[in-house]
Structure 1
Amino acid sequence: MSTAAKLTFVASLATTAGIISFIYYKQHDDRIKLHAGIIRDVQRQEQRKFENLYVLEQQQELTKKLKEREQKDLETQNLQTN
């Protein structure tokens, strides 16, 4: 085998090994990013859940206050008409 052939063979092996290594690294990196994305999504869902519960509690309080005010207004009207 000539020197040029040996160098070409070694260069092809090195290139092939580099490509395979890069693909392995890229797949590994993509898996890590996908997993991190799933964790972020779960955290966002939990945050939204707590925010929605807080808004619901606020709405319930406002509804309760409104009903109390309406009841007082009705009582006031009834007293004024009598």
Structure 2
Amino acid sequence: MSTASRVVLGVSVGLTIATVVGVHVKQNWDRARLREGVVRDLERMQKKQENLRLLKQQISLTKELEAERERRAAESQGP
């Protein structure tokens, strides 16, 4: 086998190995990003539920405050 053919074979083998390794690394990276996306979505949904709960609580407290203000206003006007 000539030197040129050995070099070409070596380069071809090296590029093939690099391509296979690169594809596997990219697949693992993509899988990790997909898992992170799912985790972020779950966290976002939990935060949304918490925000909705807090909003409902604030609405309830606002209604109570308004009722208390109306009651006090009615008491201050007297009979």
Give the TM interval when normalised to the shorter protein: 0.7 to 0.9
Match of 1:51 in 2: 51
Match of 2:7 in 1: 7
Distance 1:13 1:71 in 2: 87
The residue correspondences of 1:3-82 to structure 2 (distance < 5 A) are 3-74=3-74, 76-77=76-77, 79=79
- Compute the RMSD of aligned alpha carbons: 1.7
Deviation string 1:29-52 (CA, Å, 9 cap, x unpaired) is: 111012112101211220121122
Please list every run of 5 or more consecutive structure 2 residues that lacks an aligned counterpart in the other structure: none
* Runs of 4+ with deviation above 4 angstroms: 75-78
Please list every run of 5 or more consecutive structure 1 residues that lacks an aligned counterpart in the other structure: none
Of all paired residues, the percent bearing the same amino acid is: 27
Normalising by structure 2, report the TM-score.
Answer: 0.81
